[in-house]
Amino acid sequence: MEWKIDTGVLKKKERVILEGIFELDYLELDIGKMPILEPVKVKMVVVRAKDGIAVGGFVKTAIEHPCTRCLTPVRLEINGTIEALYVPEAYRDEKSEVELENLRNVIYYKNPVIDLTDRIIEAMVLEVPEQVLCRPDCKGLCPYCGINLNEHPDHVCDKKPEFNVVNNKFAILEKFKEKLREG
Ligand SMILES: [Zn+2]
Ligand SMILES: [Zn+2]
């Protein structure tokens, strides 16, 4: 289905409901493309309001996202809300911008046919937390060899460098202190 609305034919106070499955194979994030695990259910209500075209709704799906610590794929439920106010570009002036400043997500449009695709994707992206964990106490990966420490809790790494800079610094410091004590 088309996620577009022709504002030219939308009468005052008329409500248009757009409901269905949004076709999407993956959600593109900064870290990469996240596969979509469930059909993306969308319901939107579009109303011609006093200030412009008001769009409200929700998006529901599940995506696959790697655990921030150990990179194991995690199923992440997405329950996003869509909220936007489309204001004709022609109405854009300083006065209205001040008035609309307090409102969330004001979008100016030129073309009378509004494409709502970006709002759906935006609502999904906003639902992805900064940290996605496979479990609250995920131990992550060994910093030396990359082995998953959840699966190998007793891992003792043989890739760990022999020369331990931190310990060495402490050793030098201890010797220095000893010398001071000895005077
Ligand atoms: Zn993890
Ligand atoms: Zn290791």
Q: Ligand 2 mean position to 129 CA, how many Å?
A: 28
Residue 49 falls in which region: left (phi positive, over 0), alpha (psi -120 to 50) or beta: beta
Give the model's pLDDT for residue 105. 82
Nearest C-alpha neighbor of 34 from the set 116, 118, 127: 127
How far apart CA 175 and CA 157 sit, in angstroms, is 28
Per-residue pLDDT in tens (0 to 9) along the chain, 183 residues: 889 999 888 888 889 999 999 999 999 999 999 999 999 999 999 999 887 899 999 999 999 999 999 999 999 999 999 999 998 887 777 666 656 665 668 888 999 999 999 999 999 999 999 999 999 999 999 999 999 999 999 999 998 877 656 666 666 667 777 777 776
Give the model's pLDDT for residue 96. 61
Give the model's pLDDT for residue 92. 73
How far apart CA 170 and CA 173 sit, in angstroms, is 5
Specify whether the CB–CB gap between 69 and 133 falls below 8 A. yes
The domain spans of the chain are 4-126, 139-183
Radius of gyration of the chain measured on its C-alpha atoms: 27
Q: Ligand 1 mean position to 95 CA, how many Å?
A: 50
Q: Ligand 2 mean position to 18 CA, how many Å?
A: 52
Q: Ligand 2 mean position to 97 CA, how many Å?
A: 56
Structure tokens at 128: 């992805």
Q: Ligand 1 mean position to 141 CA, how many Å?
A: 8
Q: Ligand 2 mean position to 132 CA, how many Å?
A: 23
Give the model's pLDDT for residue 171. 66
- How much is the pTM? 0.78
Q: Ligand 2 mean position to 76 CA, how many Å?
A: 28
Nearest C-alpha neighbor of 46 from the set 116, 95, 104: 116
Which string of DSSP letters, residue by residue, matches 150-178?
A: TT-TT---SSS-SS-HHHHHHHHHHHHHH
Question: How do residues 59-111 score in pLDDT, each as one tens digit?
Answer: 999 999 999 999 999 999 999 999 999 988 877 776 666 566 656 688 889 99
Which ligand lies nearest the alpha carbon of 160?
A: 2
How far apart CA 15 and CA 49 sit, in angstroms, is 10
Structure tokens at 29: 């994030």
Which ligand lies nearest the alpha carbon of 159?
A: 2
